[in-house]
C-alpha cells in the first residue's frame, strides 16, 4: 500500500512539473510585447512641479500654544469686513482670512496671549493690542459702530 501511495505522489509531482513547463512555453510565445507609448501632444517631457498651498501657520516660526480660534470657512452669512477695525487694512484682512479668522466674534474672544500670537504671526508687533482690536470687535460684534467704522462706512477713510 505504501509503494502505491508513493508512486501516486511521484506521478502527481511529475505531471505538475510537466504542466508548468508546457504552460510557461505556451504562455511565453503568445503574450504580446508591450510597446512604449508616445505622447504626440508635446515633444519635451514636462518637469513642472505641482505646488500645493500650505497652511500659513506652518510657514511662520510662531508657536501654536496661543493660536486663536479659527474657522475653515466663513459662516453662511458671509465674512465680516474686518477693515472696520482700526489697524486692519486689506492686506492684514487677507492674511487673517487665510489664517481662518473671518468674523468680529472671533476677534472679540481673543485673550492677550492670542493677540500676541497674531502680532507675531503677522510680524507686526503691537498692532492688535495697540489699536485695541479686541475691544473694537466686541463693539462691532454687538451690532454697534465705532467712530472709525462709521468713517470707513461713510467713505471718509479709505482702507488700502
pLDDT digits (tens, 9 = 90+) for 40-79: 665 555 555 555 555 555 555 556 677 887 888 999 999 9
pLDDT in the model for residue 59? 54
| pLDDT confidence of residue 2 | 79
Find, among 81, 79, 78, the residue nearest to 159 by Cα.
Answer: 81
pTM, to two decimals: 0.60
More confident residue, 38 or 57: 38
Cβ neighbors of 85 (< 8 A, separation 6 or more) are 104, 107, 131, 133, 136, 137, 140, 148, 149
The pLDDT assigned to 14 comes to 96
Whose grid coordinates read 477695525?
A: 85
- Under 8 Å between Cβ of 146 and 108: no
What is the model's pLDDT at position 130? 95
Rounded-to-integer distance, Cα 157 and Cα 140, Å: 17
pLDDT in the model for residue 83: 95
pLDDT score for 31: 60
Residue 15: CB partners within 8 Å, gap ≥ 6? Answer: none
Q: What is the predicted pLDDT for the residue at 132?
A: 96
| 78-128 pLDDT tens trace | 999 999 999 999 999 999 999 999 999 999 999 999 999 999 989 999 999
- What confidence score (pLDDT) does residue 32 get? 65
Compare 73 and 34 and report the one with higher pLDDT.
73
Please give the residue that has the higher pLDDT: either 36 or 3: 3
| In the predicted structure, residue 30 carries a pLDDT above the cut 90 | no
Domain ranges across the chain: 1-31, 58-154
Amino acid at each position: 500500500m505504501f509503494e502505491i501511495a508513493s508512486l501516486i505522489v511521484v506521478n502527481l509531482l511529475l505531471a505538475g512539473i510537466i504542466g508548468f513547463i508546457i504552460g510557461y512555453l505556451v504562455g511565453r510565445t503568445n503574450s504580446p510585447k508591450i510597446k512604449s507609448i508616445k505622447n504626440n501632444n508635446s515633444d519635451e517631457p514636462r518637469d513642472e512641479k505641482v505646488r500645493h498651498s500650505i497652511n500659513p501657520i506652518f510657514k511662520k516660526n510662531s508657536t501654536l500654544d496661543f493660536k486663536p480660534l479659527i474657522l475653515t470657512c466663513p459662516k453662511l452669512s458671509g465674512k465680516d469686513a474686518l477693515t472696520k477695525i482700526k489697524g486692519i487694512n486689506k492686506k492684514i484682512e487677507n492674511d487673517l482670512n487665510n489664517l481662518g479668522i473671518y468674523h468680529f466674534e472671533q476677534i472679540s474672544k481673543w485673550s492677550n496671549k492670542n493677540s500676541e500670537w497674531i502680532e507675531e504671526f503677522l510680524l507686526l508687533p503691537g498692532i492688535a493690542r495697540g489699536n485695541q482690536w479686541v475691544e473694537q470687535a466686541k463693539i462691532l460684534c454687538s451690532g454697534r459702530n465705532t467712530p472709525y467704522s462709521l468713517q470707513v462706512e461713510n467713505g471718509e477713510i479709505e482702507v488700502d
